[in-house]
Chain A
Amino acid sequence: MLILTSTARIFTFAWKNFVRNAWIWLATVVVLVLALLSVNTLVGVNAVASSAIGVLEDKIDLSVYFKPGTPAAVLDQARSYMASLPQTSNVDLMTSDQALEAFKQRHAQDPNILGALDQLDQNPFGASLVIKARSTDDYPFLIQALNNPQFNFAVESQTYDDHAAAIDRVRQIAASIRYFGTALTAIFILFSALIVYNAIRVAIYTMREEIGIMRLVGASNAFVRLPLILDALLLAFFALCITAGIIAGMIAFFDPRIRTFFDGADPGLQSYYLVHYSQLLLFQAAAMVAVVTLAAWAAVGRYLKR
């Protein structure tokens, strides 16, 4: 009964204190929200960067162009051999006739090009193989595999290097984002902890008379401390709720706009949050609870020395 009464009273004191120091708490909530937003922005940017890398990787292929007139048997052998490799995901063979047809379709609106094509006696296009690797790391191996003497004499050219440079660049950017983002997040978490600590100290300073009287009349340290820790947890709760609302709004705003940069493909922002938000929220809640509890505990402790 006594425990119930004390617990109820601790909650009551916490709520009264929260209302009384509303402006101080509000300022603290804003800072906590900013810190959480920085973490979420970092996560969002990482998701989009990963998605961008995925889209780019999907666009990568190894195109092997054969000399015009290469016999179909050699082409079939090349296709079969490349398809049999475990590093290969998919191989498409485009014959010279298919390549000519595709070219004509692509330039159907350009009579000059079609006219020039008609002037030629024979099909200028050779056959080609379009090879997709399971991983971008497999392309160097596949390029080596093209040196197979059974068909390498018929290979005219291959394209890969341009894509490789773009992928490397995107990877570097993503790594930089992760590196600086992590440092920025760590700094924001540190700032948040210090600000919560100071906000609670200020709140306690405004309550110093009441705390002094509480201790004078025999309140236990826990009775003085717990309402303030509850206030700090309430702050964390509000900050998490507000951040979740802002994040939802930001995703709804940005996702369709980013989509245009991905040629209509999923930029990965919304889908990432749909899949991972519960984990992300749990992690942020745990971190926030730990930071505010420790900060409040330490801040109140300064005023409870005898």
Chain B
Amino acid sequence: MITFKHVSKVYPPDVHGLRDISLFIAPGEFVSIVGSSGAGKTTLAKLLIAEEQPTRGNIEIGGWDITRIKSRDIPYLRRQIGVVFQDFKLLQKKTVWENVAFALEVAGETRRRIRETVPHVLKIVGLEQKAQRFPYQLSGGEQQRVVIARALVHRPKILLADEPTGNLDTMNTNEIIDVLKKINAFGSTVVLVTHNREVVNALHGRVITLADGRVVADHEQGKYLLPT
């Protein structure tokens, strides 16, 4: 599903974001990518959604080599990868329903498809009763669930969550992780970028540990190994 072959990323003049990373993530996996600040987690996430291009190496997603992806093809890649960020990125003047529908509108989906899809994904994240609320009327965890719902509308094969629980308390964090597990159970590959030790250890899943731009550990039943 996701393949990194000897990928390096160097920011001018000589800041190394990633150094010769090679890894493979199979379809349906739930992978945690951990590391301290500056380890290269966010660079890896940006490479996955083609926000950055690697300096060396190749990246493939579902057999599609996105290493030198053309600008006009990026939207199609991003419709296949749902993205969730720490800072939510919700439109404050739109309701929950409108925020989720927005992702379908900009992709040119029909009204009928929007009417069918939005309630469905809101049900998955447990927000069907709050569809007409505005983001400021929701808790942090609920806002993040709206973001996840929005990421799901294109039925992505991959869900990339970059520090999704960074702004949340323990209860909301658990809610978000439960939603991610649920999505994973439906068959989507989930890539969770985090430095939350409790979350990683509770998942009992594959953990890829980055340090100084390199993969220093990759365990199927991994733990958060880094010192806090």
Contact surface of A with B, Cβ cutoff 8 Å: 1-2, 5-6, 9, 209-210, 212-221, 223, 304, 306
Contact = CB atoms under 8 A, between A and B. Distances in A.
Nearest to A6: B108
B71 interface: yes
A212 B154 CA distance: 17
Nearest to B99: A213
B11 interface: no
28 contacts: A2-B108, A5-B110, A5-B111, A6-B108, A209-B91, A210-B91, A213-B89, A213-B90, A213-B91, A213-B102, A214-B106, A215-B78, A216-B49, A216-B83, A216-B89, A217-B102, A217-B103, A217-B106, A218-B76, A218-B78, A218-B154, A219-B107, A221-B72, A221-B75, A223-B108, A306-B50, A306-B53, A306-B71
Given A209-B89, A306-B50, A306-B51, A218 B110 contact: no
Given A2-B108, A5-B110, 19 more contacts: A1-B110, A5-B109, A9-B106, A213-B90, A213-B91, A214-B102, A214-B106, A215-B74, A217-B79, A217-B102, A217-B103, A217-B151, A217-B153, A218-B103, A218-B106, A219-B107, A221-B72, A223-B108, A306-B50
B198 interface: no
Contacts, number: 63
Interface in B73-90: 74-76, 78-79, 83, 89-90
A218 B12 CA distance: 28
Nearest to B85: A216
Contacts of A219: 75, 106-107
Contacts of A223: 106, 108
* 9 smallest beta-carbon distances between A and B, as pairs: A219-B106, A217-B103, A218-B79, A6-B108, A218-B78, A218-B75, A220-B75, A214-B106, A2-B108
A71 B45 CA distance: 110
Nearest to A217: B103
A221 B71 contact: yes
A221 B75 CA distance: 8
- Which of A5, A215, A216, A218 has most B Cβ within 10 Å? A218
B52 interface: yes
